[in-house]
A and B are shown apart, each in its own frame.
Chain A
């Protein structure tokens, strides 16, 4: 299962830079990033090529980092493609908590990460999307 790292940051200049810098130093490749924000703080969500190493690095730098399972898939850059996938989830009564984009495997396709709160539901989502022929992104794909 693909994993995402969530990092707590105070909403002030320099904090995102510190995260990225820490990962740069150990040559971690960031494949996707999303920031959820409030007035005082935010959560930086990352998909990287080596989750374990990235988490260890961040913890060493005193960041609060936690790993979550996510589902990611690619869709072709054409009309109706997203609907095809979301419809499957909808039909199975699976709720998406949040979502963001990541690199597709080539220029004619988009990658999408979705987070589903419940781990059983996450596994179920992976299964139903696979059965529907959706092209899932694996950890190996981002490594």
Chain B
């Protein structure tokens, strides 16, 4: 079994906790001194940096949310002067504003180390050809895996996303052995390969690292059969660092968290209580090594479970089960974060406000689709032209608000579902199952 940093990855729990405690105590002092919003939060909660001596004290700290980042947009939560920042990434905005994250050189190194660990965990080494087909840019996917592959010493192929014919030719001609891409793109590439006469024997692929969107065990099998490789789940979010906060090992039984950098907790999203190991709840991360944006108890809104049992691979690092939903109503449509509230705001942004709507998400030809059903406002029921103009207006407003193309369906009043007087806003027909649902 290969490890990238064996001592850390297979450390006994008490040693790992001692390291976490040491780093946490240091980092709390660091952010208290450097980050105004944190100092205020801690003062308000009556917590002094001296109160945080070990991981057991973590639960005393206030939470950080995406709203905190929005309130301090763009750089207000940064703990270093901008002269120390060497990179910026951003995630899709929810209120028009993106969430901006920054990295010092050390942060970039930490990230590359985590990504290298992920690649080794799933069987990679310096002899591999790591083909990065995530998008390069503000999105963390591309550059995150890129630096990890280089750190590992693998041949790094910065293919970025798109152009399926070129991707497959590169697989074949460059000898790509590990490919990083979204699961839905993997599926569409398999279809494209079939239609264009490629066979899996044409490729030398052994592993696919799939993340950035939810996917099912069925999709895993389809990707594995289609390309003749093993497909691994990877998790990350820009607020914490990017992809490789956690990643599956060859055992494919949960994603090992880089716990020496990010301490995970599972909380009850209603009571905020920390839940015991094995219970499902909202995933929260604290960054204990990062310099530019060391967020504490950041609420990911992802629902997950932590498993502390030792893995067959020998790693002691805690495993997280694939996120099993969200505590907020965020949808991921074609990799873009979409909140129903954005659509609601768009519908209220022009004349003839519609207040009842239903979002129907589906997947056609492996592409997510979003249909916005709207209970037709009475004012526009004069002519077909008015109705069509309204549809057009609604589509334009929503498309530009969420950055994803939608289709509009006008419905009769009170035809949309309501349960217990509260409107059901989202129907997700994508049927993304995961193995932990039993």
A residues adjacent to B (C-beta < 8 A):
6-10, 15, 36-38, 40-43, 62-66, 68, 97-98
Closest CB-CB distance, A42 to chain B, in whole Å?
8
CB <8 Å contact, A66 and B381: yes
A8/B388 contact (C-beta < 8 A), A40-B410, A43-B381, A63-B412 known:
no
Closest CB-CB distance, A97 to chain B, in whole Å?
7
CB <8 Å contact, A66 and B409: no
CB <8 Å contact, B412 and A9: yes
CB <8 Å contact, B411 and A10: yes
> Assuming A43-B384, A97-B383, what are 15 further A-B pairs, CB within 8 angstroms?
A7-B381, A10-B415, A36-B384, A37-B384, A38-B384, A38-B388, A42-B384, A43-B382, A43-B387, A62-B412, A64-B377, A64-B381, A65-B378, A66-B379, A68-B382
Neighbouring A residues of B384 by C-beta, 8 Å: 36-38, 42-43
User: Whole-angstrom distance between the alpha carbons of A8 and B376 in the complex?
Assistant: 8
Neighbouring B residues of A65 by C-beta, 8 Å: 378, 381
20 A-B interface contacts by CB (under 8 A): A6-B381, A8-B376, A8-B378, A8-B381, A8-B410, A10-B411, A36-B383, A36-B384, A37-B384, A41-B387, A62-B413, A63-B412, A63-B413, A64-B413, A65-B378, A65-B381, A66-B378, A66-B381, A66-B382, A98-B383
Neighbouring A residues of B379 by C-beta, 8 Å: 66
Neighbouring B residues of A42 by C-beta, 8 Å: 384
Q: Which listed residue, A6, A10, A36, A68, touches B412 by the CB 8 Å rule?
A: A10
User: Whole-angstrom distance between the alpha carbons of A62 and B414 in the complex?
Assistant: 7
Neighbouring A residues of B383 by C-beta, 8 Å: 36, 43, 97-98
Neighbouring B residues of A36 by C-beta, 8 Å: 383-384
Neighbouring B residues of A64 by C-beta, 8 Å: 376-378, 381, 412-413
Closest CB-CB distance, A90 to chain B, in whole Å?
21
Neighbouring A residues of B413 by C-beta, 8 Å: 8, 62-64
Q: Nearest CB to that of B388 among chain A residues?
A: A38
Q: Most chain-A Cβ atoms within 10 A of its Cβ — which of B382, B388, B411?
A: B382
B residues adjacent to A (C-beta < 8 A):
376-379, 381-384, 387-388, 409-415
Q: Nearest CB to that of A66 among chain B residues?
A: B381
Q: Most chain-B Cβ atoms within 10 A of its Cβ — which of A10, A37, A65, A98?
A: A10
User: Whole-angstrom distance between the alpha carbons of A41 and B379 in the complex?
Assistant: 16
Q: Nearest CB to that of A97 among chain B residues?
A: B383
Neighbouring B residues of A68 by C-beta, 8 Å: 382
Nearest 3 A/B pairs, CB to CB? A62-B414, A8-B381, A64-B378
Closest CB-CB distance, B379 to chain A, in whole Å?
7
Q: Most chain-A Cβ atoms within 10 A of its Cβ — which of B383, B410, B411?
A: B383
User: Whole-angstrom distance between the alpha carbons of A41 and B410 in the complex?
Assistant: 7
Neighbouring B residues of A98 by C-beta, 8 Å: 383
Neighbouring B residues of A97 by C-beta, 8 Å: 383
Neighbouring B residues of A62 by C-beta, 8 Å: 412-415
Closest CB-CB distance, A39 to chain B, in whole Å?
10
Q: Nearest CB to that of A15 among chain B residues?
A: B412
Neighbouring A residues of B415 by C-beta, 8 Å: 10, 62
User: Whole-angstrom distance between the alpha carbons of A61 and B423 in the complex?
Assistant: 19
User: Whole-angstrom distance between the alpha carbons of A106 and B134 in the complex?
Assistant: 75
Neighbouring B residues of A37 by C-beta, 8 Å: 384
Q: Most chain-B Cβ atoms within 10 A of its Cβ — which of A9, A15, A64, A65?
A: A64
Neighbouring B residues of A6 by C-beta, 8 Å: 381-382
Q: Nearest CB to that of A98 among chain B residues?
A: B383
Neighbouring B residues of A10 by C-beta, 8 Å: 410-412, 415
Closest CB-CB distance, B203 to chain A, in whole Å?
43
User: Whole-angstrom distance between the alpha carbons of A98 and B379 in the complex?
Assistant: 18
CB <8 Å contact, B409 and A40: yes
Q: Nearest CB to that of A5 among chain B residues?
A: B381
Q: Nearest CB to that of B381 among chain A residues?
A: A8
Neighbouring B residues of A40 by C-beta, 8 Å: 409-410
Neighbouring A residues of B381 by C-beta, 8 Å: 6-8, 43, 64-66
Q: Most chain-B Cβ atoms within 10 A of its Cβ — which of A6, A41, A62?
A: A41
Closest CB-CB distance, B355 to chain A, in whole Å?
13
User: Whole-angstrom distance between the alpha carbons of A66 and B410 in the complex?
Assistant: 16
Q: Nearest CB to that of B414 among chain A residues?
A: A62
